[in-house]
Chain A
Amino acid sequence: MKIENTQSQMRKGILEYCILSILKNGEAYPSDIIEKLKIAKMIVVEGTLYPLLTRLKNAELLQYRWEESIAGPPRKYYSLTDKGIAFLIELDSTWKNLAKAVRLTTKTKKDE
């Protein structure tokens, strides 16, 4: 069993949760999202984000609008759809449960 597999399993889903969470505060364009994810060390390379955004958009969790940019090509500004908001709320509770579970299990180990 490779550590990388387990790590990516853990990361799986969390990245999507993070993206949706970032957009909870309002619309953003990919570079903003990348910036935040990079600071959080959730992603290393930018290319990772684009397929994810498209997938989320195709799942109708996200929507976007075009906005002209002075520095470069027009930008896509992403925001959550109603479905996306509902999805995020579910994820929030899932995450809380998970975090609690992790905290509990790790704590138990420490105490013993």
Chain B
Amino acid sequence: MNKTVNINLAGIVFHIDEDAFEILNNYLNILKNHFKNEEGGDEILKDIEGRIAELFTERMIKKEAISLTDINEITSIMGDPSQYDDEIDVESSQERQFKDEDLNKGKRRKVFRDEEDRMIGGVCSGLAHYFDINIFWFRIIFICLLFAIGPGAPIIYIILWIAIPSAKTTAEKLEMKGEKVNINNIEKNIKDELNIIEGKIRDFDKKITKEIFGTKFQVFTTKCVDFFIRVIKGVFKFVGSCFGIFSIVLGGFLLLIIFSFLFSREAVLFQNNLLFAYVLNDSIFSDTLATWLFLFIGIPIVAVILFGLRLVNNTRIHMNYKIGIFVLWIISLFFLGSSVKDISKEFQEEAKNTIIENIITESDTLYLSMNDFDRVFDNVFDAKGFKVTPFEDNLIGIGMQLDVVKSKNDNFNLIKEATARGKNKHLAKEMTEGIGFEFTLEDDNLIFDDFFTISTQKWRMQELDLTLELPVGMVVFLDHSLEDLVYDIKNVHNMWDYDMLGHYWKMEKEGLTCISCELE
């Protein structure tokens, strides 16, 4: 099925298929351009139209409507302007002048709005043609202007819209792009012209409206509606491209962050990628893991950027690339999954290692405190509740817990219970044995280190629980420096750990009893 339109050619009305009409219209426009500067050009055009009408009439005997085949035959009978020049190389002085003028025009580019490639009025695209810069950058600049100078930008745009004429004829379109205006170029542009069929149809519809209804009012309404549709379309496109630019900028920014986060040794934005160094077994593995992780996170971001580009510049990616990228993503997912599985295996088994140290003191009161270096292990590990942290290129443990319980004998004992994980029981045990904890005893002062050492330099969920066994009748003083160490120490008053600090506690048969507190 084909839509047909009616045309009036040399006073005769013809039915013509829509696609055929486009070709014919183009052909006549090219001729019009060719003869526009020639004396009697209109007459030549009318003669040619008359001849075409005659050829149509011959064909209409057999059928109802002119088809594309007919048009192609007729245009090849009539030939195109470049052929005329080959056949009659009549160079009158007038013509020579005309050609020189064309050459001059070719050298000088003119500013036109490009309505074929427009978001709103084609100002950006026109300027882009004039300065020979990719239109994408012009739109970016415009959006930036919008943010920089606010409402001034649309006003500038509107002024330019009004001031710059739109490129309507083929010659103008060529001038806009700075190409030489000659017949061959116009010919080349035929194909381009076919791409704007949509626009032509709209123009034609307007003409039809004019012909059928004839009243100015209706033409006016059509124009109004057309204008509104254009404005609304423009606004949508504008919002779309704003969103697109936002996507591109955001996506690019995210990619940069992720890249520096995963690959840079001197990470700028985040203070480490040590997680890999201390968790995984060798650095090569950690790099490949980083690559897969980068792909896994990066590909969706790239997708966002591509989506943005499509909104801004109508850049489309070939389906094969899309599939390729998707497959790569799936592969990264697979490798990432297996890596995660490998890593989780490293934590499969748990082991405990208990060391009991006898604390020998002649005093009946033990003063407990912690080496207070007033240092803060600020680190990702720390922040996320890891009980280890890299410190001066070593992995050390932090966050030990201290409990005070009743001794089963008459000795002060410090029980160090180390916990760690590993691929198997044996490896987990090795990990626990790598945990070392120091304290100093000066007379009746028991001073704990504020960290424990991890000689294996791998994080396997090492934890250290300290338990001080206190014989009945003995006293401990809990210094304020133990703030981070004391954890859930049972006492007869059911006092909170923090409140217990700064007091003397005596071990009675019932449990720890405060002997310096002012109890209510």
A:1-47 near B, CB below 8 Å: 4-5, 8-9, 11-12, 15-16, 30-31, 43-47
The 4 closest A-B pairs by CB, nearest first: A45-B79, A8-B89, A73-B10, A72-B57
Q: Are B80 and A47 in contact (CB under 8 A)?
A: yes
> B503 an interface residue at 8 Å Cβ cutoff?
no
B:71-89 near A, CB below 8 Å: 76-81, 83-84, 86-89
Known: A12-B88, A55-B90, A73-B10. A47 touches B53 (CB 8 A): no
B242 → chain A, closest Cβ, in Å? 49
> B226 an interface residue at 8 Å Cβ cutoff?
no
B96 → chain A, closest Cβ, in Å? 14
Cα of A15 to Cα of B40 in the assembled complex, Å: 19
Q: Are B78 and A46 in contact (CB under 8 A)?
A: yes
Q: Are A51 and B44 in contact (CB under 8 A)?
A: yes
Q: Are B57 and A47 in contact (CB under 8 A)?
A: no
List residues of chain B with CB under 8 Å of any chain A CB.
9-12, 31, 35, 38-40, 43-44, 47-48, 50-51, 53-54, 56-58, 76-81, 83-84, 86-90
Q: List 7 A-B contacts (CB under 8 A).
A: A8-B87, A45-B77, A51-B44, A52-B88, A58-B39, A71-B54, A73-B11
Q: Are A48 and B79 in contact (CB under 8 A)?
A: yes
Closest to A37 in B: B87
Q: Which of chain A's residues have a CB closer than 8 A to the CB of B9?
A: 73
Q: Which of chain B's residues have a CB closer than 8 A to the CB of A95?
A: none
Q: Are B51 and A31 in contact (CB under 8 A)?
A: yes
Cα of A71 to Cα of B38 in the assembled complex, Å: 30
Cα of A44 to Cα of B85 in the assembled complex, Å: 12
Closest to B56 in A: A72
Number of A-B contacts (CB under 8 A): 96
Q: Are B88 and A11 in contact (CB under 8 A)?
A: yes
> In the complex, how many residues of chain A place their beta carbon closer than 8 angstroms to a beta carbon of chain B?
31
List residues of chain A with CB under 8 Å of any chain B CB.
4-5, 8-9, 11-12, 15-16, 30-31, 43-48, 50-55, 57-58, 69, 71-76
Q: Which of chain A's residues have a CB closer than 8 A to the CB of B53?
A: 72-73
Q: Which of chain A's residues have a CB closer than 8 A to the CB of B86?
A: 4, 8
Besides A52-B90, A55-B40, 11 new A-B residue pairs in contact (Cβ under 8 A), listed by A number: A8-B86, A45-B79, A48-B84, A48-B88, A50-B48, A51-B84, A54-B43, A58-B40, A72-B10, A72-B53, A73-B50
Cα of A7 to Cα of B51 in the assembled complex, Å: 28
Q: Which of chain B's residues have a CB closer than 8 A to the CB of A5?
A: 89
Cα of A52 to Cα of B56 in the assembled complex, Å: 23
B37 → chain A, closest Cβ, in Å? 12
Q: Which of chain B's residues have a CB closer than 8 A to the CB of A69?
A: 54
Q: Which of chain B's residues have a CB closer than 8 A to the CB of A30?
A: 47, 51
A110 → chain B, closest Cβ, in Å? 29
Q: Tell which of B11, B48, B57, B84 has the most Cβ of chain A within 10 Å.
A: B84
